[in-house]
Structure 1
Amino acid sequence: MKYNKFLTILLASGLLGIAVACTDNFESDNRNKTGFDSELQEYDFQKYLLKFEIIQTGIYYNYDWGEGKNWTFQIAQNLGQDMFSGYFHDFNQAFNDKNSVYALNDGWTSTHWSYNYSYIMPEVQKCEQINVDQPALLAVTQILKVELMHRVADCYGPLVYSKFGQEGDNVDDLKTAYTQFFADLENGITALQKFIKENPGVEPYKDADLLTPNKTLAEWVKFGNSLRLRLAMRVANVDKTLATEQARKSFTLGEFLEEPGEVIAVSTAGGYTNPLGEINKSWGEVFMGATMESVLTGYDDPRTAKYYDKASGQVITWKDDSGEHTLPQLFDYANTYKGVPQGTGLLSADQRYRECSKSTISQSTNAILMTAAEVWFLRAEAALRGISTESPKECYETGVRTSFNQWGAGGVDAYLQSSAIPANYKDPFDSKFDMTALITTTPNWADANGTEEQFEKIMTQKWLAMYPEGNEAWTEQRRTGYPKLFKVKVNNSGGAIDTDIMIRRLPYPSTLATSNPTQYSSLTRALGGADNGGTRLWWDAGKNNF
């Protein structure tokens, strides 16, 4: 980490009922970027597009409001959701006495909430107002709003969404929020379809589009419809009627992300830098998680080299007043794929994992939000639940093939016939951190023992295919229980989080209780449990209901 501010509690906005004033400088910043004064903006259609960059770069958070970039993403996602998903872990033990061992750091866990409400959601509201007479741009705004805020809802629970900007009790419980998510997606998709039909070849959003590969409204229809299916499956364990209704709307429309190149991601082509890549390549703080090592190496997965570099495995030495010291290794792990376990509770000066496998993601890697592979696994789940008439097996295997193609990995035919299982984790320094693999299923669909194991295969491969987007991966792991992640060795939550059940959510910013006690009371009441990391969210049923 680069700044001491990471260890402080970030200011959480208590003014969620209004568009907060700290975004006022954005408009001048963006005018400077475009080089147009107000008259030319109006003439060149720019005034309708100015807000979109802020919103899109705010989803996978890397918006610079004057305090620098990248560090915000690290505390908003990388030291939380990315780690809890099993994808990554920071080698630096100086920061692993906090979230890693469930002693949740409020200054970190607050950030995803605080910055979206302080900076991004007000811009969404302004964008809706500006584009009220621009149906295509308003439709894109609605889809973007859902993509932005369902991520917040899935981390914290009840939130301010449908009544954002209103006075009084403006909190939505999760069912209400999801119902509004579906309504906004329906409105956005329908409006785009109408616009495309009435204005063939017209692409008013092209100059502002940072997310779709070819910058077309047709791709936004696919994205919106795919997002609808994602959220439909999210609620399938707790509200089958709602899930079935929304999923069938998706299948009736039939427009999905399907091909390997159909990836929704924040593009780095125009100056956006991937914050995960900066933390990884420049700061050297993004390492393979232990569960990822177990699954990828156990399966001998050809995507492993696409996701992570091999460990350098160099012998770790240091000097102090008593002389030079060497950290003993139990075995040579150089040139292997070696992950970092969560929750070791090691002392802050311990850097034993610094020569393990790092991520391959760089500053110029597009920041993935949704892939066609993910959508195929969503379709596999819908078929398994009897919501569609597709074949679960065919959708599952197409999802695996699509992911392999997306990453340029070969050997998919052999992989889909493989009977390999995940490997046990062997710690190179201390055997007390060794862990037996909890996952016993294989990539081969044919050997599944019933519906639950078929579902486990779908979700395990989906988890692999969603890499490196840890926010969504953690959400799906909590919803389904798959993949079965390694558990923390040290739990310093004070009993708030059960080691076996694992962390279920992020607490609300602590400052809300004093800055806006009425709203905080509404949020916790709608949550229906203690405001800590152990309370399950509405869609988190604790079991899979087929």
Structure 2
Amino acid sequence: MKYNKFLTILFASGLLGIAVACTDNFEADNRNNTGFDSELQEYDFQKYLLKFEIIQSGIYFNYDWGEGKNWTFQIAQNLGQDMFSGYFHDFNQGFNDKNSVYALNDGWTSTHWTYNYSYIMPEVQKCEQINVEQPALLAVTQILKVELMHRVADCYGPLVYSKFGQEGDNVDDLKTAYKQFFTDLEKGITSLQSFIKDNPGVEPYKDADMLTPNKTLAEWVKFGNSLRLRLAMRVANVDKALATEQAQKSFTLGQFLEAPNEIISVSTAGGYNNPLGEINKSWGEVFMGATMESVLTGYDDPRMSKYYDPANGAVITWKENDVVKELPQLFEYAGSYKGVPQGTGLLSADNRYKECSKSTVSQKTNPILMTAAEVWFLRAEAALRGISTEDPKICYETGVKTSFEQWGVGGVDAYLQSDKTPADYKDPFDTQFDMNARITTTPNWADANGTEEQFEKIMTQKWLAIYPEGNEAWTEQRRTGYPKLFKVKVNNSGGAINTDEMIRRLPYPEGLKTSNPTQYSSLTRALGGADTGGTRLWWDAGKNNF
């Protein structure tokens, strides 16, 4: 990480100051440099497409706004949501006294909010205004808008969405925002269906499509409908009527991502660079999380080698006062899959976990936003809740099979019959960080003890299948309590976050308190609790209501 650079920018200037400055210069920074004048832009659809790529590359944020790429994603997601999900941990010196131990760093936790509102949402609004002349592109924009902003809502809570760009109190509480998400998805899906019916075989925006596998409008319908089911299940614990209404709309349409190769991801073929891959491969800062080690090794999951590389396990040495020191290992872990525990609070010079397992994600790995496997698990949950007439067992097992095929691994039949359970975590250097496995369920559906454990199986396998998209994984873990992640050993939140309940959300940017106190007051009032990481969001009921 370019640590000194981003600290200087974020803390010397102030987050909101950056937001204002960036917005002021946004048009200048994003002029079309291709040489098209307005007539040629109109002729070549550039008028409609110039904003499209910005939005697509901004969801999994790696938009070059003039200060470089990748590090923005690290502080916007990787040092927060990716870690809180249990997928990853960066143990480089200087990071472990902040988010890892719940001493939340405003410069990091504010970034997801600030950059989406500074750069991407203004482009969404402009795209909506321009695209009234292009109904299919407007429909795709509406789907993109929901995918972009539900991620923000699920991190922070109440937000500016339905009244973005309006004066006065423009804050939506989370329930209102979700209802608007569903409205926008309905508009987008319906409009796309009409366009496809009236224009068979026409794909006018194919060259600008960065997300769908075959770049077709039919796939956008599937994505929008699958996204509707995702959000319907999100609210199922707190508003079953709304969840049922929206899920049944999805099932009535019946068009979902279903096959293993139906993956919504940001294509790197046209020059987009996966920021997680850069942080991983170039910076060496994306380590396997301890819960992932527990589950993957305990289950002997064949996807393990697709997700992570084996640990190097080299002897840890460092120099102190010109003397080379060596850290004793409690056991040999080279060649095994070894994760890093969150919340140790260690700031040791030895950087002891640097030889643990790292992610396999590279700069050219397409960042995943949604998979068919996830959708099968959504369908399993809907069936378990009695919202659909499908068989939850069949949907669950299809989800596992789809994930295995997506990642190109075999042995799924034996895996689905397995009675193996997650493993205890053993720290290679200090037994005080050893942890007993908190998960006891197996991959085998038949051995579930009632509905709650069936649900735990669905959600544990869904968590494995969503990898490596930590934003969605963390959201679902908070909503359902599954999988049961390891808890932090050190909690420096000052009482704001309960160790057992874990972090529930990201606080709003500190800069809002002084730059826009009226809006900040509206946001916190709609939140209904303290603006801390310990306050539950509307859909986070604290229990699963079937």
- Alignment match, 2:164: 164
- Alignment match, 1:407: 407
- Corresponding residue SS for 2:193: helix
Residue 6 of structure 2 corresponds to residue 27 of structure 1: no
| Aligned amino acid, residue 494 of structure 2 | G
Give, in angstroms, the shift of residue 16 of structure 1: 9.4
- Alignment match, 2:448: 448
Q: Note the alpha carbon deviations across 1:239-272, whole angstroms, 9 max, x for none.
A: 0000000000000000000000000000000000
- Alignment match, 2:253: 253
Instruction: Tell me, in whole angstroms, the C-alpha distance in 2 between the residues paired with 1:5 and 1:107.
Output: 12
Q: TM-score, normalised by structure 1?
A: 0.98
Matches within 5 A, 1:312-391: 312-321=312-321, 323-391=323-391
- Alignment match, 1:457: 457
Unpaired segments ≥5 residues, structure 2: none
Give, in angstroms, the shift of residue 26 of structure 1: 3.9
Instruction: Tell me, in whole angstroms, the C-alpha distance in 2 between the residues paired with 1:76 and 1:96.
Output: 16
| Aligned amino acid, residue 24 of structure 1 | E
Q: Is the 8 A contact 1:96 1:345 kept in 2?
A: yes
- Corresponding residue SS for 1:326: strand
- Corresponding residue SS for 1:131: helix
- The 3 A distance-change label for structure 1 pair 18 and 5 is closer
Give, in angstroms, the shift of residue 20 of structure 1: 3.7
Instruction: Tell me, in whole angstroms, the C-alpha distance in 2 between the residues paired with 1:467 and 1:175.
Output: 27
- Corresponding residue SS for 2:270: coil
- Corresponding residue SS for 2:132: coil
Q: Is the 8 A contact 1:155 1:475 kept in 2?
A: yes
- Alignment match, 1:518: 518
Q: Is the 8 A contact 1:488 1:499 kept in 2?
A: yes
| Aligned amino acid, residue 411 of structure 1 | G
- Corresponding residue SS for 2:387: coil
- The 3 A distance-change label for structure 1 pair 17 and 344 is closer
| Aligned amino acid, residue 535 of structure 1 | T
- Alignment match, 1:203: 203
Q: Note the alpha carbon deviations across 1:65-110, whole angstroms, 9 max, x for none.
A: 1000000000000000000000000021321110000000000000
- The 3 A distance-change label for structure 1 pair 339 and 501 is same
Instruction: Tell me, in whole angstroms, the C-alpha distance in 1 between the residues paired with 2:348 and 2:64.
Output: 30
Q: Note the alpha carbon deviations across 1:372-424, whole angstroms, 9 max, x for none.
A: 00000000000000000000000000000000000001110100000000000
Unpaired segments ≥5 residues, structure 1: none
Q: Is the 8 A contact 2:478 2:540 kept in 1?
A: yes
Instruction: Tell me, in whole angstroms, the C-alpha distance in 2 between the residues paired with 1:532 and 1:251.
Output: 37
| Aligned amino acid, residue 429 of structure 1 | F
- Alignment match, 1:270: 270
Instruction: Tell me, in whole angstroms, the C-alpha distance in 1 between the residues paired with 2:257 and 2:422.
Output: 29
| Aligned amino acid, residue 354 of structure 1 | K
- Corresponding residue SS for 2:94: helix
Give, in angstroms, the shift of residue 324 of structure 1: 1.2
- Corresponding residue SS for 2:171: coil
| Aligned amino acid, residue 39 of structure 2 | E
Give, in angstroms, the shift of residue 125 of structure 1: 0.3
Q: Is the 8 A contact 2:228 2:247 kept in 1?
A: yes
Q: TM-score, normalised by structure 2?
A: 0.98
- Corresponding residue SS for 1:152: helix
Residue 117 of structure 2 corresponds to residue 117 of structure 1: yes
Instruction: Tell me, in whole angstroms, the C-alpha distance in 2 between the residues paired with 1:265 and 1:181.
Output: 20
Instruction: Tell me, in whole angstroms, the C-alpha distance in 2 between the residues paired with 1:71 and 1:194.
Output: 41
Matches within 5 A, 1:63-78: 63-78=63-78
Instruction: Tell me, in whole angstroms, the C-alpha distance in 2 between the residues paired with 1:167 and 1:57.
Output: 28
Give, in angstroms, the shift of residue 11 of structure 1: 3.8
- Alignment match, 1:4: 4
- Corresponding residue SS for 1:370: strand
Q: Is the 8 A contact 1:16 1:160 kept in 2?
A: no
Instruction: Tell me, in whole angstroms, the C-alpha distance in 2 between the residues paired with 1:205 and 1:15.
Output: 33
Q: Is the 8 A contact 2:20 2:118 kept in 1?
A: no
| Aligned amino acid, residue 274 of structure 1 | N
Matches within 5 A, 1:42-441: 42-321=42-321, 323-441=323-441
- Corresponding residue SS for 2:398: helix
- How many aligned residue pairs are there? 543
Instruction: Tell me, in whole angstroms, the C-alpha distance in 1 between the residues paired with 2:18 and 2:161.
Output: 13
Q: Is the 8 A contact 2:315 2:326 kept in 1?
A: yes
- Corresponding residue SS for 1:319: strand
| Aligned amino acid, residue 126 of structure 1 | K
Instruction: Tell me, in whole angstroms, the C-alpha distance in 2 between the residues paired with 1:432 and 1:369.
Output: 37
Q: Is the 8 A contact 1:61 1:73 kept in 2?
A: yes
Give, in angstroms, the shift of residue 322 of structure 1: 5.1
Q: Note the alpha carbon deviations across 1:186-238, whole angstroms, 9 max, x for none.
A: 00000000000000011122111000000000000000000000000000000
| Aligned amino acid, residue 86 of structure 2 | G
CA-based RMSD of the aligned residues comes to 1.4
Q: Is the 8 A contact 1:17 1:165 kept in 2?
A: no
Q: Is the 8 A contact 1:161 1:177 kept in 2?
A: yes
- The 3 A distance-change label for structure 1 pair 285 and 15 is closer
Q: Is the 8 A contact 2:316 2:350 kept in 1?
A: no
Q: Is the 8 A contact 2:19 2:114 kept in 1?
A: no
- Alignment match, 1:532: 532
Instruction: Tell me, in whole angstroms, the C-alpha distance in 1 between the residues paired with 2:21 and 2:371.
Output: 34
Instruction: Tell me, in whole angstroms, the C-alpha distance in 2 between the residues paired with 1:526 and 1:6.
Output: 31
Q: Which moved more, 1:43-52 or 1:482-491?
A: 43-52
Give, in angstroms, the shift of residue 319 of structure 1: 1.5
Q: Is the 8 A contact 1:15 1:516 kept in 2?
A: no
- Alignment match, 1:475: 475
Q: Is the 8 A contact 2:463 2:473 kept in 1?
A: yes
Instruction: Tell me, in whole angstroms, the C-alpha distance in 1 between the residues paired with 2:544 and 2:461.
Output: 17
Q: Is the 8 A contact 1:294 1:423 kept in 2?
A: yes
Q: Which moved more, 1:313-322 or 1:431-440?
A: 313-322
Q: Note the alpha carbon deviations across 1:424-482, whole angstroms, 9 max, x for none.
A: 00000000000000000000000000000000000000000000000000000000000
- Corresponding residue SS for 1:330: coil
Indicate the percent of aligned positions where both proteins have the same amino acid. 85
Q: Is the 8 A contact 1:17 1:164 kept in 2?
A: no
Residue 523 of structure 2 corresponds to residue 545 of structure 1: no
- Corresponding residue SS for 1:91: coil
Instruction: Tell me, in whole angstroms, the C-alpha distance in 2 between the residues paired with 1:475 and 1:450.
Output: 24
- Corresponding residue SS for 1:94: coil
Q: Note the alpha carbon deviations across 1:113-144, whole angstroms, 9 max, x for none.
A: 00000000000000001101110000000000
Give, in angstroms, the shift of residue 21 of structure 1: 2.4
Give, in angstroms, the shift of residue 45 of structure 1: 1.1
Instruction: Tell me, in whole angstroms, the C-alpha distance in 2 between the residues paired with 1:504 and 1:5.
Output: 29
Q: Is the 8 A contact 2:55 2:144 kept in 1?
A: yes
Give, in angstroms, the shift of residue 25 of structure 1: 2.1
Q: Note the alpha carbon deviations across 1:276-305, whole angstroms, 9 max, x for none.
A: 000000000000000000000000000000
| Aligned amino acid, residue 437 of structure 1 | A
